[in-house]
């Protein structure tokens, strides 16, 4: 809706004599007391043109086309804001036009439709368990992928697994000497972690072991068959274990191109950077200085270590080139902890120079950062013994706690159904608690707050949704029912109108969440929508005798269900028939 209103205002402003480039309409959804949308752009345009703002706003409003005037009650407020309040006819038209997820997607289509976006997320290191530090990238990356795809881009979901690096020397050393076969069968990652710790400790205390570990690494890097086979097994088992988590979180990658995939693609980085004069040599290493940057003018990005080896940055540069050439990426998003922001800033600066000097088009590169998950003590969340909290244990506990909630709420449901519901509620609560925060901030992980039917929580929303489903189920009614809806007229009571006006803003909230890569905007929208539904449902009886009133109320229920279901789906949550 915002896009349409901005276009209409631009046209009207031009007709009122405002130069085209001088006018940014600045339409936003607004507090319902000020209509549904508000434009604040006339103020700046008036200032620029040296005209008094209020009369200019009135002149612009007078030149709005009849379609806008029919759809909205338009008024000028304060010093020159333009307020738009949706008229009942528009609300009815919206309700009639949106009966499927595809209709909602069409309404939300953004300017990036047709572009290819690569989303690099989750991307854990192999041979280690996923822990709570891996939660945010997976959950936020999945939601953003869904949002970007829903609004029209082609999305390539790429799990850039850390499956290569110097740790393999010690790991292979220990694997060859200390592997515990049965333990490997029980829990491979646990065994790899044990082996790595063992190899690391041995190498730290004994220079001979350190030498042997180094030799194992060199053999692996040279393609030695035995070491390559061990490495392959470690990665295969790691990915299989990650897969269990991804399934619970509803994550499916299009490609999993780990760091090792780029081993044969780093030569192009070395030669490209030196050939174009972007890199220089410093103490035997190949480095890139950025003289224009306060820190990176003295702290270069190392792209090739003095021993000739590639590193994290080299691989990332090769990855950018590959994503451009192979996927034709227009945008690459990196959903990674904000502690890596220096790495990405330096990487993007380097890629830009490299691409510019070699005549390549650089895609938009963006570090979608996020803060840390904290314990109630304000420090990064850990177990009581000070270890990292395993993601698997965290999700298990969430399901366990949700089981108590579900049992309290619906003790009459059979136990296996309560277990199945608890998995959806528990995992959804963890996802939602993460997504509903501004992603750049740290947040405190609190079981009590997150697994609760009160507040902006998954359980509250899932319950609201299940309750709407039950209206249709108990009445034996279709949802939606086009034949019955044909009788519906426009929203009339305050509860109906407020709910319909909130529904109208779904696409704008999806766009806002997508443009800012901030799913919490969608969470907030869904929470408010559930609140409007609850007010409506408390005030207006749905199943009444009057066929017209009943049809329009059922239509509102059906659309609320559609929007909630679609919205929660975009966040990566599963929903329930009953709860
Ligand atoms: N494996 C890295 C880590 O665990 C994250 C990789 C993020 N993606 C990237 N292209 N650098 O810290």
Which residue stretches of 50-180 are H helix? 53-62, 66-71, 88-97, 101-108, 135-150, 167-178
pLDDT value for 342? 97
Nearest CA to ligand 1 atom 4: 124
pLDDT value for 31? 82
Which of 127, 135, 160, 351 is the pocket-test mutation for ligand 1 (most atoms within 8 Å of CB)?
A: 160
In the numeric block, the tokens 């296996």 are attached to 416
pLDDT value for 298? 96
**Cα separation, 266 vs 322, whole angstroms:** 11
pLDDT value for 335? 98
pLDDT value for 20? 79
- Cα 396–Cα 400–Cα 402 angle in degrees, nearest 5: 115
Q: Which two tokens stand for residue 177?
A: 């000497």
C-beta 131 within 6 A of ligand 1: no
C-beta 41 within 6 A of ligand 1: no
Q: Which two tokens stand for residue 534?
A: 């609850």
CA-to-CA separations, 125 to 189, 231, 242, 354, in angstroms, rounded: 11, 13, 10, 28
Q: Which two tokens stand for residue 394?
A: 């965290």
C-beta 347 within 6 A of ligand 1: no
Non-local (6+) Cβ contacts of 539 within 8 A are 493, 494, 495
What residues of the chain score a pLDDT lower than 50? none
- Ligand 1 centroid distance, CA of 73 (Å): 51
pLDDT value for 114? 87
CB 65, CB 8: distance < 8 Å: yes
Phi, psi of 302 (to 5 degrees): -85, 120
pLDDT value for 279? 97
- Cα 124–Cα 129–Cα 133 angle in degrees, nearest 5: 60
SS3 381: coil
Nearest CA to ligand 1 atom 6: 123
Q: Which two tokens stand for residue 206?
A: 């004994």
Closest CA to 546 of 492, 466, 497: 492
C-beta 369 within 6 A of ligand 1: no
- Ligand 1 centroid distance, CA of 124 (Å): 7
Please name each of the domains of the chain with its CATH number.
Answer: 2-85 (3.30.1360.70), 116-161+258-368 (3.40.50.620), 167-247 (no CATH), 391-579 (1.10.730.10)
- Ligand 1 centroid distance, CA of 454 (Å): 36
SS3 331: strand
Closest CA to 286 of 276, 294, 295, 322: 276
pLDDT value for 39? 95
CA-to-CA separations, 246 to 103, 123, 243, 406, 521, in angstroms, rounded: 29, 12, 5, 24, 24
C-beta 120 within 6 A of ligand 1: yes
Which residue stretches of 369-438 are H helix? 391-409, 415-435
Quick one: how far is CA 217 from the chain centroid? 37
In the numeric block, the tokens 């426009």 are attached to 490
């Amino acid at each position: 809706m915002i896009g349409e209103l901005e276009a209409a205002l631009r046209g009207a402003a031009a007709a009122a004599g405002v130069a085209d480039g001088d006018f940014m309409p600045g339409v936003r959804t607004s507090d319902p007391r000020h209509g549904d949308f508000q434009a604040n752009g006339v103020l700046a345009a008036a200032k620029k043109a040296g005209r008094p703002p209020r009369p200019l706003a009135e002149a612009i409003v007078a030149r709005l086309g009849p379609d806008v005037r029919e759809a909205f009650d338009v008024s000028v407020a304060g010093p020159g804001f333009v307020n738009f309040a949706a008229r009942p006819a528009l609300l009815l038209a919206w309700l009639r036009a949106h009966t499927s997820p595809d209709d909602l997607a069409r309404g939300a289509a953004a300017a990036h439709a047709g572009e290819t976006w690569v989303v690099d997320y989750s991307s854990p290191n192999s041979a280690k368990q996923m822990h709570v530090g891996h939660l945010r990238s997976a959950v936020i990356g999945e939601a953003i992928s869904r949002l970007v795809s829903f609004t029209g881009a082609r999305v390539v979901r790429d799990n850039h697994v850390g499956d290569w690096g110097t740790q393999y020397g010690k790991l292979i050393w220990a694997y060859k000497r200390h592997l515990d076969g049965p333990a490997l069968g029980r829990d491979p990652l646990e065994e790899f972690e044990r082996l790595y710790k063992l190899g690391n400790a041995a190498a730290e205390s004994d220079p001979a072991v350190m030498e042997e570990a180094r030799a194992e690494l060199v053999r692996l890097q040279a393609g030695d068959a035995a070491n390559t086979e061990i490495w392959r097994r470690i990665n295969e088992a790691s990915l299989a274990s990650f897969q269990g988590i991804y399934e619970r979180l509803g994550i499916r990658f299009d490609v999993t191109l780990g760091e090792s995939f780029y081993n044969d693609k780093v030569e192009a980085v070395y030669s490209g950077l030196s050939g174009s004069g972007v890199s220089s040599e410093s103490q035997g290493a190949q480095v890139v200085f950025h003289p224009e940057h306060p820190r990176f003018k003295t702290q270069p990005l190392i792209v090739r270590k003095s021993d000739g080896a590639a590193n994290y940055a080299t691989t990332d540069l090769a990855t950018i080139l590959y994503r451009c050439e192979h996927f034709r990426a227009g945008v690459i998003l990196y959903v990674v902890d904000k502690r890596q922001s220096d790495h990405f800033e330096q990487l993007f600066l380097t890629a830009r120079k490299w691409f510019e000097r070699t005549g390549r088009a650089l895609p938009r590169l963006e570090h979608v950062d996020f803060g840390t998950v904290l314990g109630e003590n304000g420090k990064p969340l850990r177990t009581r013994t000070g270890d990292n909290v395993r993601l698997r244990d965290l999700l298990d506990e969430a399901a366990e706690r949700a089981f108590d909630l579900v049992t309290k709420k619906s003790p009459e449901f059979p136990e296996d159904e309560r277990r199945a519901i608890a998995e959806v509620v528990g995992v959804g609560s963890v996802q939602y608690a993460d997504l509903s925060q501004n992603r750049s901030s740290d947040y405190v992980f609190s079981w009590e707050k997150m697994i609760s039917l009160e507040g902006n929580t998954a359980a509250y929303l899932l319950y609201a949704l299940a309750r709407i489903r039950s209206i249709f189920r108990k009445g034996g009614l279709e949802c939606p029912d086009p034949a019955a809806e044909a009788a519906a007229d426009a929203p009339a009571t305050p509860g109906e109108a407020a709910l319909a006006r909130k529904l109208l803003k779904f696409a704008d909230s999806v766009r806002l969440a997508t443009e800012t890569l901030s799913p919490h905007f969608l969470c907030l929208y869904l929470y408010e929508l559930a609140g409007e539904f609850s007010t409506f449902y408390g005030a207006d009886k749905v199943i009444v005798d009057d066929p017209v009133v009943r049809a329009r109320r059922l239509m509102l229920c059906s659309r609320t269900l559609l929007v909630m279901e679609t919205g929660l789906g975009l966040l990566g949550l599963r929903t329930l028939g009953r709860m």
